[in-house]
Structure 1
Amino acid sequence: MARQNYLFTSESVSEGHPDKVCDRISDAVVDAYLKEMPEARVACETLATTNRIVVAGETRGPASITNDYIAHLARMAVKDIGYEQDGFHWENCDVAVHLHAQSAHIAQGVDAGGNKDEGAGDQGIMFGYACRETEELMPAPILYSHRILSLLADARKSGKEPVLGPDAKSQVTVRYENGVPVAATSIVLSTQHLDPALTSEDVRRIVEPYIRTALPDGWITGETAWHVNPTGAFVIGGPDGDAGLTGRKIIVDTYGGAAPHGGGAFSGKDPTKVDRSAAYAARYLAKNVVAADLADRCTIQLSYAIGVSEPLSVYVDLHGTGRCDEARLESTLRDVMGLSPRGIREHLNLNKPIYERTAAYGHFGRQPDADGGFSWEKTDLVDTLRPLAG
């Protein structure tokens, strides 16, 4: 039986964190290609350090996406995030673009041809998860860690808190009683600030109202431990303070450690890459299972081989909370949604420029957008799945 009384912690990082700057740029490149050619192929990695950005990888798409345009996209992403400091400035930093054509050997396994359907772009395992801890069917610690930083970013960008810088990290430790999240036992927030004279106490006075807004009523008590900028001054931030790379915050991107992760990053990859699309599909299916009241918790694993269309396995774990047979559910999920790379893309309508917005504050637990963004958060399979209960 699963433990019922325990503490669990998750962290998030802001859009100005060095790794998230890189995720944002890589996904801006993906969107640019998909906007011009929905069937484009993109595998884009970004490195950022003091006043330098390097974009590298493989693409297949229109010649209109030039290196100069990609450099422009990188600068615009950094500008929107808010970096205009001496060591990392959107206008003055050096941007080097080293993208080249996709490997023909990979392409031959992925592309459809003759009687062969499109295959997976690589081998790998992907996980999806949902639970009843929050309205978004997400684990509470990661959801509220994201929410803290999102509120602070909104306040910074609106001009309400101009002293805050783009780089920040949050961490929330949640106490569970009888399996239900009930309180925050500790809150950690480190945020860049532009005034060197500010103390940790000064920063806490600025950020505390936003943190209290982000968490449920009653979760912060007199026993909650606060650690706000615990090392003191945090003026040098972003890639000037620490180099960033695409794909280094995969646990932040998903479930905060409350569920397994297959290991593949999302950002910088077009939706033929199952690292991204199959992880979205697994979340979509797990969320619909929980929303259909078939379980209180659901983990789904999908596995693929490069060049092979259909998944090698579909595994469902309802963690002892299920109200249906797991083996039957595994079979049904294959029927209600095509789980080939093409089937996933078509069902979730993924061949769109919808990825730059996913780069910060989590790929899951978000509201579906009218233009198709976050389509994997829809619960439109509930009526189909609900009859399986019993």
Structure 2
Amino acid sequence: MSRDNYTFTSESVSEGHPDKVCDRISDAILDALLAEDPLARVACETFATTNRVVIGGEVGLTDQAKLAEYMERIPDIARACIKDIGYEQDKFHHATCKISNYLHEQSAHIAQGVTGERGDEGAGDQGIMFGYATNETDALMPAPIQYSHAILRRLAEVRKSGQEPLLRPDAKSQLSVRYEGGKPVGVSSIVLSTQHADESQSSADIRAIVEPYIREVLPEGWITDATEWWVNPTGTFVIGGPDGDAGLTGRKIIVDTYGGAAPHGGGAFSGKDPTKVDRSAAYAARYLAKNVVAAGMADRCTIQLSYAIGVAKPLSIYADTHGTGQVDAAAIEAAIPQVMDLTPRGIRTHLELNKPIYERTAAYGHFGRTPDADGGFSWERTDLVDALKKAV
């Protein structure tokens, strides 16, 4: 039996977090390759530490002879990401850090599996992917992760605009949200750690800077006299980013998705082209779950998809409405393949994923975002509502 009254906690990390720097670089490289070749196959990993960025992985192009030409642009792409994030530290500066690129041609055996022996495009790997939606926020996302992201996005805005010049790029937020009757009603604790400019700044000084923006972002009444504040609880946080802690692509998979409020299949997103079902099928599962909730079929919905490498159709489709369903979960499972082709090619076509739309996903969550006119965050649309209603 589900509980109605409880406290649930989720965290987010900023675009300047070392792992997010790496996610951003990997997705920027992916975008650059997709802009040149919409059928490019990319698996790009990035590692960052003091004064150094290392990039590696595999690339498959329609015209593989162009690979060397494209590879010459990789260091400039990485530097542009670091500059936009805001790193100009002595030991991690966009202009001076050493960048090593070890991207190379995609394995012929992996390419063979994706293409499939029968010529029908198969999944790029085996695996399970989950999508989730809940009506507790307008974005149909869990409140703890949605507002944790919102806090850091707002702090990034005022930092980059010059409104708060003493803030620096590396930051983490964490919210413990109180639920009553199954709905979020308040925040019992707020944790915010942000890199700052001056060692003389105390935790109290940083709280004075960030508190107005946190209050601006959270719903009215959620912060009370009983809310605990933990702002830079360890004290000084001047050394940040990859100089303070090494970063790696794909290490923030819970931050990227639902903040722990839903299952995760284990596959990371950034740096992977949409033939990789780790990414595209997770987007499809979110799209389906969101449309189920938007259609009023359930207050909460989890969708699981599973795939085998080289096999086009999903091996299984599972739906769970967590006891909130207005429609039987088995009926939802039966409806899903009627309203969407869940082969890798079908997902890419339906959601228009062969576009350079991924760099923007690298920070502040892949879900709960507003769909963009150019096709970015297409998986956040709710345009399947009518089709789902008819199919059940």
Q: TM-score, normalised by structure 1?
A: 0.98
Which one is further off, 61-70 or 211-220?
A: 61-70
Gap runs ≥5 in structure 1: none
Match for residue 73 of structure 1 among 65, 74, 77: 77
> For the Cα contact (< 8 Å) 1:123–1:304, is it kept in 2?
yes
Aligned to 1:46: 46
Across the aligned residues of Structure 1 and Structure 2, the Cα RMSD in angstroms comes to 1.0
CA contact (8 A) 2:339 2:391 kept: no
State which of 290, 298, 303 in structure 2 corresponds to 1:300.
303
Q: Which residue of 1 aligns with 2:106?
A: 102
Counterpart residue type for residue 247 of structure 1: G
CA contact (8 A) 1:87 1:240 kept: yes
1: CA distance, partners of 2:71 / 2:39: 20
Q: How far does residue 66 in structure 1 lie from its aligned partner after superposition?
A: 3.0
Listed one character per residue, the Cα deviations across residues 127-162 of structure 1 (whole Å, up to 9, x for unaligned) are 000001100000000000000000000000000001
Asked if 1 retains the 8 angstrom alpha-carbon contact of 2:338 and 2:391, the reply is no
> Does structure 1 residue 331 correspond to structure 2 residue 319?
no
1:371 paired with 2:389, answer: no
Query: Match of 2:55?
Result: 55
Q: Helix, strand or coil: the match of 1:149?
A: helix
What is the letter of the counterpart of residue 340 of structure 2?
M
Structure 2: which amino acid aligns with 1:56? G
Q: Residue type matched to 1:258 in 2?
A: A
Query: Which residue in 2 is equivalent to 1:247?
Result: 250
Number of matched residues? 388
Structure 2 counterparts to residues 241-390 of structure 1, below 5 A: 241-387=244-390
Partner Cα separation in structure 2 for residue 65 and residue 385 of structure 1:
46
Q: 1:326 & 1:217 partners in 2: Cα distance? A: 35
Distance, in Å, in 1 between the alignment partners of 2:372 and 2:309 is 31
Letter paired with 1:310: K
Stretch of structure 1 that moved more, 144-153 or 115-124:
115-124
Distance 2:228 2:79 in 1: 39
SS in 2 for 1:216: coil
Question: 2:181 & 2:329 partners in 1: Cα distance?
Answer: 24
> 1:33 touches 1:65 (CA, 8 Å); kept in 2?
no
Give the whole-Å Cα distance in 2 for the aligned partners of 1:4 and 1:387: 32
Q: What residue identity is the alignment partner of 2:106? A: Q
1:213 aligns to 2:216 (yes or no):
yes
SS in 1 for 2:199: coil
Percent of aligned positions that are identical:
72
Q: Aligned-pair distance for 1:63?
A: 2.8
Deviates more, 1:54-63 or 1:135-144: 54-63
State whether residues 293 and 386 of structure 1, in contact with CA within 8 Å, keep that contact through their aligned partners in structure 2: no
User: 2:116 touches 2:311 (CA, 8 Å); kept in 1?
Assistant: no
1:83 is matched with 87
State the match for 1:35 in structure 2.
35
Q: Is the 8 A contact 1:294 1:388 kept in 2?
A: no
Distance 1:29 1:167 in 2: 22
Give 3-state SS (helix, strand or coil) of 2:310's partner: coil
Give, in whole Å, the separation in 1 of the partners of 2:116 and 2:93: 43
Aligned-pair distance for 1:116?
3.0
Q: CA deviation at 1:195?
A: 1.5
C-alpha separation in 2, matches of 1:116 and 1:334: 22
Residue matched to 2:147: 144
CA contact (8 A) 1:23 1:267 kept: yes
1: CA distance between counterparts of 2:299 and 2:60?
Answer: 42
1:225 to 2:228 alignment = yes
Q: Confirm or deny that 1:127 pairs with 2:130.
A: yes
Q: Please say if residues 79 and 95 of structure 2, whose CA atoms lie closer than 8 Å, have aligned partners that are also in contact.
A: yes
Amino acid at match of 1:216: P
3-state DSSP of counterpart to 2:84: helix
What residue is the counterpart of 1:183 in the other structure? 186
Post-superposition Cα deviations, 1:299-334, rounded to whole Å, max 9, x if no partner, equal 000000000000000000011111112112111101
Is 1:128–1:283's contact at 8 Å kept on the other side of the alignment?
Answer: yes
1:259-310: CA deviations, max 9, x gaps? 0000000000000000000000000000000000000000000000000000
- Checking the alignment, whether the CA contact within 8 Å between 2:7 and 2:179 is kept in structure 1 is yes
Alpha-carbon distance between aligned partners in 1 of 2:184 and 2:107, rounded to the nearest angstrom: 48
Confirm whether residue 92 of structure 1 aligns to residue 108 of structure 2.
no
Report the Cα distance in structure 2 between the residues aligned to 1:301 and 1:215, rounded to whole angstroms.
31
The one-letter code sitting in structure 2 at the alignment partner of 1:269 is K
Following the alignment from structure 2 to structure 1, what is the Cα–Cα distance between the partners of residues 220 and 68? 51
Question: Contact 1:324–1:388 (CA<8 Å) still a contact in 2?
Answer: no
* Partners of 1:111 and 1:369 in 2: CA distance: 30
Shift of 1:163: 0.5
CA separation in 1, counterparts of 2:233 and 2:172? 12
Determine the C-alpha separation between the residues in 2 that align with 1:325 and 1:278: 23
The CA deviation at 1:388 is 5.8
Q: Is the 8 A contact 1:118 1:341 kept in 2?
A: yes
